[in-house]
Amino acid sequence: MALKAVRGFSDILPSETERWKRIEDQARDVFGRFGFAELRIPLLEKTEVFARSIGEETDIVEKEMYTFPDRGGDSLTLRPEGTASIVRAYIEHKLYVAETVTKVFFIGPMFRYERPQKGRYRQFHQIDVELFGTSNPMSDAEVISVLMHYFAVLNIKNCELHVNSLGCGDCRRPYKEELLRFLRAHASGFCANCQRRMDRNPLRVFDCKVEDCQRMLRDAPLLQTYLCSACTEHFGHVREYLRILGVTSIVNPHMVRGLDYYSRTTFEVLAPGLGAQNAVAAGGRYDQLVESMGGPSVPGIGFAIGMERVLLLLQDPSSPPRSSLFIAALGPSARDKAFTLYCRLNERGIATTMDYEDRSLKAQMRRANKLNSRYVVIVGDDELRKGAAVFRDMKEQSQEELPLATLFEELNRRLAGDCVSA
């Protein structure tokens, strides 16, 4: 039986890579303009990098990580998200020394053992953007607005930006007590997992997908009413800066992100067109994370964009393969001549294609059409005898003869700049 890819893991085929490159290039351009520098992190980390930061009681750590012992007995994990790895690298390489504010972004695959469905995969890709070194609400507004700008550049409309504040330790302490009182009073109505989680980390009960639990939680106390004055003021400033920047946001007090490291501002970009998996990007502030992972007390904020979900939202179809020039060769001598020409033109950046096998002119012209080639050069025994090749402009529907002796230079002169390699 033929081998297949692992469930939830996909190949990205040549016909799709143009669209992937487009969203990656736009990310490098947009985030680069705002001073975010690209960082590359390893696929594997020690398991504790994620367990300690994301939180032991979260869905990701409890059920979704690809964790295994290596041959030396260390527990390693394929990264389920980027933030924890980036913070590990930020601390390990003391990136905080060179600059007070550090802005980085990362593009790459993540791994979560989730039930695959449209928009949800076991290997998926994120564009992760992080800003370290300030808790000024301006930086919250900056990262959110650069995210929305990225979507605007990709012409992705109909997205809703939901924002919330999860407060700091000071406001969360009394809130957690109140939430726990509520959860205990209704404990019998919650599933076994929620009952287990409520005592250890009551906020994580909100992540439960069971409908009955979600219904009960509609009456749970809201964190927003417990925010301390500093957190209320911070959130107010974030919203005001967003308003000044013209970024529309919806306050969603029910939004509790499924990772433990967040404090204060959290946000999600929802695209209703995506169905059940409608979060196309999400993030928030994590002012204690760097310190809790052994670094200095440096605040941070960031987000990750789900690239597969962005691609589902892009309207343009996958692009056909491109070739600017097709060389149709007829007969072995012409093919040899064409082969050198084909290699030399591609070296010059003129996207050229030819057939390796001897096929009829009709078959070769069909292939040129399929490749959308603007120009075709035809060389056969007749042309070799005459010392001239036929040069066709498919768009203008014109044709002329070009001397074989100077064909390479002539094509170079005519097509350089006009033809860019795919």
Region at 346 (left for phi over 0; alpha for psi -120 to 50; beta for the rest) = alpha
Cα separations in angstroms, 415 against 112, 239, 276, 340: 47, 52, 48, 17
Minimum CB separation of residue 92 from ligand HAM in Å reads 18
Is-contact 194 214, C-beta < 8 A?
A: no
Q: Quick one: 267 or 375, whose CB is closer to ligand HAM?
A: 267
CA distance 400 to 389: 8
Instruction: Give 56-65's long-range contacts (Cβ < 8 A, gap of 24+).
Output: 56/200, 56/201, 57/197, 57/200, 57/201, 57/204, 57/260, 58/204, 58/207, 58/258, 58/259, 58/260, 59/207, 59/258, 60/112, 60/258, 60/259, 63/113, 64/112, 64/113, 64/114, 65/111, 65/112, 65/113
Interface with ligand HAM in residues 263-302 (CB under 6 A) = 279-284, 302
Does 342 interact with ligand HAM (rule: CB under 6 A)?
A: no
Out of 45, 59, 81, 140, which residue is the one contacting ligand HAM (CB under 6 A)?
81
Cα separations in angstroms, 29 against 103, 105, 216, 383: 14, 11, 45, 48
Q: Which residues does residue 283 pair with via DSSP β-bridges, in sequence order?
A: 267, 303
Structural tokens at position 165:
């504040």
Number of residues lying near ligand HAM (CB under 6 A): 24
Q: Quick one: 194 or 256, whose CB is closer to ligand HAM?
A: 256
The separation between the first and the last C-alpha atoms of the chain, rounded to the nearest angstrom, is 35
Q: Quick one: 124 or 391, whose CB is closer to ligand HAM?
A: 124
Q: Quick one: 133 or 380, whose CB is closer to ligand HAM?
A: 133
Residue nearest to ligand HAM (CB): 306
Does 128 interact with ligand HAM (rule: CB under 6 A)?
A: yes
Out of 57, 59, 130, 260, which residue is the one contacting ligand HAM (CB under 6 A)?
130
Does 304 interact with ligand HAM (rule: CB under 6 A)?
A: yes
Structural tokens at position 108:
């790459």
Q: Which residue has the tokens 């409608």?
A: 278
> Which uninterrupted H or E stretch holds 352?
strand 352-354
Out of 31, 90, 106, 121, which residue is the one contacting ligand HAM (CB under 6 A)?
121
Out of 55, 167, 202, 306, which residue is the one contacting ligand HAM (CB under 6 A)?
306
Does 120 interact with ligand HAM (rule: CB under 6 A)?
A: yes
CA distance 202 to 245: 36
Minimum CB separation of residue 377 from ligand HAM in Å reads 45
Among the residue ranges 29-37, 126-134, 344-352, 389-397, the one whose residues contact ligand HAM (CB under 6 A): 126-134
Minimum CB separation of residue 336 from ligand HAM in Å reads 50
Reported in sequence order, the residue ranges of 147-299 that DSSP labels E, i.e. its strands, are 160-165, 250-251, 265-270, 279-285
Residue 192 exposed, middle or buried by CB count within 10 Å (0-12, 13-18, 19+): exposed
Minimum CB separation of residue 116 from ligand HAM in Å reads 8
Minimum CB separation of residue 327 from ligand HAM in Å reads 43
Does 140 interact with ligand HAM (rule: CB under 6 A)?
A: no
Q: Quick one: 81 or 383, whose CB is closer to ligand HAM?
A: 81
Minimum CB separation of residue 337 from ligand HAM in Å reads 50
Out of 105, 303, 326, 342, which residue is the one contacting ligand HAM (CB under 6 A)?
303
Minimum CB separation of residue 367 from ligand HAM in Å reads 37
Among the residue ranges 211-219, 222-230, 303-311, 352-360, the one whose residues contact ligand HAM (CB under 6 A): 303-311
Q: Which residues contact ligand HAM by CB under 6 A?
A: 81-83, 112, 114, 119-121, 124, 126, 128, 130, 279-284, 302-304, 306, 308-309
